[in-house]
Amino acid sequence: MSDRIVQISASGVKVTAELNDSVTAGALWDALPVTGRAQTWGDEIYFSIPVSADEDVDAQETVEMGAVAYWPPGKALCLFWGPTPMSAPGEIRPASAVNVMGVIDGDPAVLDGVPDGAEIVVERAGG
């Protein structure tokens, strides 16, 4: 991982996440701060961001709880804390392959308190 820590805030919920050293994570870091409107899909929040990246060769069809990812078809940042409508039992499955950019610190399930349509802000932590 890297020293790239972001803060994600929406509807009184705040979490931090550590971005990895991927090219996509670097593009997000360079674009910060970004804001959007949270859209929920099962236990996932996603929203469009001003970053354009291709699907990585190691893009993932399933992710771990707390994954921070980029969904290339929607140019969207995705935050996962549980199953989506496409998940089989015991897995977290995005709509299609995502570029994992990092992981949320602590319990990502607090994101369950963010309503659909809420303004969401991603910014550099401590900045």
Using alpha carbons only, how large is the chain's radius of gyration in Å?
Answer: 13
Give the DSSP letter of residue 88.
P
Distance between CA 87 and CA 59 in Å, rounded? 17
pLDDT at 43 (0 to 100): 97
pLDDT at 126 (0 to 100): 75
Q: For residue 96, which amino acid is it?
A: S
Domain tally, the chain: 1
CATH of the domain at 32: 2.40.100.20
Give the DSSP letter of residue 86.
T
pLDDT at 114 (0 to 100): 97
Range of the domain at 48: 5-124
pLDDT at 109 (0 to 100): 96
Q: What is the pTM of this model?
A: 0.95
Handedness of CA 67, 113, 92, 78 (dihedral sign): negative
Q: For residue 97, which amino acid is it?
A: A
Per-residue pLDDT tens digits of the chain, which is 127 residues long: 468 999 999 999 999 999 999 999 999 999 999 999 999 999 999 999 999 999 999 999 999 999 999 999 999 999 999 999 999 999 999 999 999 999 999 999 999 999 999 999 999 997 5
